[in-house]
Structure formats: C-alpha cells, structure tokens
Amino acid sequence: MNIRNILMLILILASSKYTHAQIGDTPKDSLYIQEAEARQQPVKVLHAEPLYIDLIRDLGARKGEKEWNVGVGLTDNLRFDSYEALIEYEWAPVNRLGLEVELPFTFFSPLNGTPKDSVPSDRLESLKVAAQWSFFVNERAATSMALGYINEFELSDFRNFGNPYFKGNVYNPFLIVAKRWGSNFHSLIYTGPMIEQNFQDHDVHTTYEINTSFHYMILRTRNFIGIEFNKTVDHGDFGMTMRPQMRLGIADDLLIGIVAGIPISRNNERFSSFARLIWEPGHRKHMKHSH
C-alpha cells in the first residue's frame, strides 16, 4: 500500500468516525472518561498513546494491565526498501510501573538494480527491555508525567550472526509529559537521549530525540486520529518525520493503528507506512473491576 492510499484511508475512516461522533455530546463523553479513569485507585488519566513511538505502558498504569503488540512497516530508503516487524509484550506488575520486552526485526530489499551485497543484511535489531514509572498523575489538571528507561542489546545481523552475538548497547532514558485538553484533545511529549555504545571500537554516539504528538479521540470510544512529530538532533543535524495516524477499536480488547511517515528533513529516507495490532487480554474484565 503506497503513501497516498494510506493517507486516503486515514481521511475516509476519520471523517466517517467524526460524523458519527457528532450524534453524541460532551457530557456522555465525560461519563466514558470517568468509566476509564475512576472508580478504582490509584487514579488514572485517560491519554491518547502515540502509535509509532509508543509508551511502555499506559501512563498511571494499574497493576495487572497487560498488552501484546505486533507491528509491521515499510520504508523507502532510495536504494532499497526496508521492512520492519516487531513483537512486544508490556505489563504492569505494580501500580504506576510498566515493563516491556520487544524484539524488533528489519529486512531489506534492493531497488533499481542495487547490488544485493551493497544492501544491509537482514537482522534482529536488538533485545529491547524497558521500564516506565508514572510519578505524577493529576485528575484535576488531566496531566500525567513519567520517567522511563529503555536498554537495547544490539545484535549482529544475520550475515554475521554470532560473530559476535552482541555488537553494542543503547542506553535511552526518557521523560514523558501528557495533557488532555477537555474531553477529546490530547497532547504528549516524549524526549530523551539515545547513547549508543559500540563494543568493538568502544565508540559512543549520542543523539537526542524530541517526539511530540497531538490527537483527537472520538466521543465515547478509544478511537482517535492524530499526528506524531518524531525529531532527532545528531551533532547539530536536525531530522524530522511527520506521522499522521489513526487508531480503531476492532473488539473490546483489540485495536489496530495505521501510521503514514512523511520525512521533512531526512536525507536518505522517503515515505513510509506502519501498522500496529494491539491486543489487551483481560481488558473488559479489568474495566468491570474498576467500577
């Protein structure tokens, strides 16, 4: 599916959902927010979670919450296409703390006669483990904040796998600040350094990420439309990709997210697409217990 088709799909589905949503009213939507947030301690604020740079767990996570993610994506890199896939499990062992394990894969396909040996080798990028602690949750201000840490044990590509097994490590502390404006509008900032250490030459490379997102959540649902701005600063060089997106609920415990990537200032990257399937086992049961 090319970028034009993805954008058309987002606009068509979003407009139909938005039209349907106008039947409702704000007080009813406020009741839905209360159902999602209240009647259980500790308090939790409903926020729209970005789909590409996703959170480790919901902000203000409650003990027992869990979620499986499967993601697939395609990026045009001028000389070759790269296909990404990920499998991810996240859970909350205690209130306010989220943990995650992720396996991200990348596969490459040459374009326009590019020699195969000049294209990167397929790889399991890393073993990624992460934690996120919501240290501030304020219902009155509809605001949540969290500190987190991601550690990526980088693996050798399949062509050289085992020589060595681990080629480096990425250290990624981050801060999240999220705010809901009224019943439907959401904003979030996710920022922190990525410090990459190469075990072979002991080189250390640092980039800084500033990811901002804005979403409109459809009345009385978990469906939303929105956009992410994924920005990086690398030794004075600035890169940004805009990612319009939407999330739709397929069942009580199953959602799908669709994302388009539009590079603004990235030299070797063109359009991209990404889809995420989100399964929350026990979601209905957890909501009933919150009443």
Percent above pLDDT 70 for the chain: 82
Pair of tokens at residue 29: 């939507």
- Residue 284 to residue 160: CA distance in whole angstroms: 45
- The three state secondary structure string of 222-236 is CCEEEEEEEEEEECC
Q: What is the pLDDT of residues 168-188, one digit of tens each?
A: 999 999 999 999 999 999 999
Q: Domain residue spans in the chain?
A: 3-238+248-289
Give the other-Cβ count within 10 Å of 108's Cβ. 19
Q: What is the pLDDT of residues 209-248, one digit of tens each?
A: 999 999 999 988 999 999 999 999 998 889 899 999 999 9
Query: Which CATH superfamily groups domain 3-238+248-289?
Result: monomeric porin ompg (2.40.160.40)
| pLDDT averaged over every residue in the chain | 86
- Residue 189 to residue 207: CA distance in whole angstroms: 17
